Amino acid sequence: MACSVQKTGEFGPGNAVIKTIRYGLPELTVVVVCQQCEQPECLESCPAGAIRKNAGGVVEVDKQSCTGCGSCVDACSYHAIFLYGDIAQKCNLCEGSPECVTCCPAGALTLGDGPEQKDLSQQGAELIKKVFGEDHGLVPEQFFIK
């Protein structure tokens, strides 16, 4: 719930930009979160130019420019961008210090760019592709799940 408070100022799982879903048998909990793609489909689909990639590689939504059209929501293969009111919301790694990583009681989330994290990120991306039955050849960049 740290994510929902950080992003919207309100406590509630519906407001978080990191989601969990149950998948398969035995049941797995799959974390669905922005993968900060190398070439983000959400960015390319935004007619208002409200989605940008910053110098650190984090994909961000300019709330002032966002029109709430939902093109980015439809374009995201990871189902990790949402409309909150009329504004697109997605993980921006809390501008460098993700609350979910800090607060996860199980220590299941980590952030980094070493070989171990890259491998974990790819495994997570593959699982998300299985869950949603899609493979668009996207390359996840920065967010890693243990």
pLDDT attached to residue 137: 59
pLDDT attached to residue 136: 54
pLDDT attached to residue 26: 72
Contacts (Cβ under 8 Å, ≥6 apart) of 130: 23
Q: What is the DSSP string of 4-42?
A: HHHHHSS--GGG-SSEEEEETTTTEEEEE-----SS-HH
Which range marks the domain in which residue 105 is found? 2-145
H helix and E strand count, the chain: 5, 8
**44: nearest Cα among 136, 143, 144, 142:** 136
pLDDT attached to residue 138: 58
Tokens of 135: 């493979």
pLDDT attached to residue 146: 46
Task: Quote the pTM value.
Answer: 0.76
| Grouped pLDDT means (10 residues each) for the chain, 146 residues | 77 78 73 85 97 92 97 92 91 86 80 70 70 61 50
User: For position 14, which CATH number holds?
Assistant: 3.30.70.20
Tokens of 112: 């980094």
Longest dimension (CA), the chain: 44
pLDDT attached to residue 98: 87
